[in-house]
Amino acid sequence: MYEIVKAHALSEAVFEMWIRAPQVARNAQAGQFCIIHPDGAGERVPLTISGTEGDLIRISFMAIGTTTKLLATLSAGDCLRDVVGPLGMPSDIAKGPETVVIVGGGVGVACTPIIAQAAKDAGNYVIGIIGARNKSLLILEDEMREICDELFVTTDDGSYGIKGFASGPLQTLCESGRKIDKVWIIGPGMMMKVTSGVTKPYGIKTYVSLNPVMVDGTGMCGSCRVVVGGEMKFACVDGPEFDAHLVDWDDLLARQRMYLAEEKESVAYHEE
Ligand code: FES
């Protein structure tokens, strides 16, 4: 059993937990994920490891499905049945000095500090861009401000920071002619598709963290397959980070919608 040591809401939609999982914490690197199985009965949920501290790992999630809604009801002192990880490949962070831009949108912002910190620790100049639909949904601004050399904040409705999407400051940076070596974009599929389109004309190496449906997380079931550069890859073992400019976004977005009806039915059933 894996004890939840701290649990709290980061916004009305996003929750954060610190879980005692010594083996996972000891080996986890930026960009990797774990699979949580809260009670041994429901689905297994892949979640990015968004931080580590001693024996603890941090996970962040949006409570939108049956299992994440269950997770959101748990608090410090409760236990999870299984936490498997670290899974997947670490982020491709080079020794600096490089200039890297880390872009997060919505719940994806939760995964940006660990990459930003790893890039910073490797001697890179780190520019952060974080965005949300509105001010109340913006998370981890203070943490990102502390790590990054520069931070831009956007809200879709202009209630805080720069009005518009996170792609706006990225576009401005690209147009400014500043040297940018690598970009990471983490957020909902459509946001990553659109935002990575900004860097493509400039030939800037851009990574996205893909989040297809996963079951085993070890390359055996095939449920997480994605098409990258015309080749089939398994996000759980070949990723989850891939070259954004090679991802077949239409295929990914279609696969993410495959079980929407079943997910809605399950949520409705458990709320009855
Ligand atoms: Fe089964 Fe990736 S989750 S192969």
> Above 90 in pLDDT, residue 103?
yes
Cβ(243)–Cβ(206) under 8 Å? yes
- Cα separations in angstroms, 175 against 92, 128, 254: 25, 17, 32
Mean pLDDT of the chain: 93
What's the pLDDT score for residue 38? 86
For residues 42-66, average pLDDT: 91
CATH number belonging to the domain at 2-87, selected among 2.40.30.10, 3.40.50.720, 3.40.718.10, 3.20.20.450? 2.40.30.10
Confidence of residue 152 (pLDDT cuts 50, 70, 90): very high
* Alpha carbon nearest to ligand 1 atom 4, residue: 219
Q: For residue 97, is the peptide bond before it cis, meaning its omega torsion is within 30 degrees of 0? A: yes
Binned at pLDDT 50, 70 and 90, residue 255 comes out as: confident
**Buried b / exposed e across 8-25, counting CB within 10 Å, b at 16+?**
eebbebbbbbbbbbeebb
Query: Which residues line the pocket of ligand 1, CB cutoff 6 A?
Result: 214-217, 219-224, 234, 236
Mean pLDDT of 202-217: 93
Is domain 99-256 given the CATH code 2.60.40.10 in the classification? Answer: no
Q: Which of 9, 84, 47, 70 is nearest to 266 (CA)?
A: 70
Does 154 score more than 90 pLDDT?
Answer: yes
CA of 261 to the centre of ligand 1 (A): 21
- Ordered by start, the domain boundaries in the chain are 2-87, 99-256
Judged against a pLDDT cut of 90, whether residue 67 lies above it is answered with: no
For ligand 1, atom 1, the nearest C-alpha belongs to 221
Residue 15: what pLDDT? 94
pLDDT in tens, 166-197: 999 999 999 999 999 999 999 999 999 999 99
Residue 261 has pLDDT above 80, yes or no: no
Segment 51-73 shows an average pLDDT of: 91
pLDDT on residue 39? 83
Distance (Å) from CA 235 to ligand 1 centroid:
7
Our mutation pick for probing the ligand 1 site, out of 216, 233, 259, counting the most ligand atoms within 8 A of Cβ, is 216
Please answer whether residues 166 and 133 qualify as being in contact, where contact means their C-beta atoms are separated by less than 8 angstroms: no
**In angstroms, what is the span from residue 59 Cα to ligand 1's centroid?**
20
The best mutation among 37, 211, 218 to test binding of ligand 1, ranked by most ligand atoms within 8 Å of the C-beta, falls on 218
pLDDT band at 267 (very low <50, low <70, confident <90, very high): confident
* C-alpha pair distances (Å), 14 with each of 24, 71, 132, 138: 22, 11, 12, 10
160: tokens are 């805080």
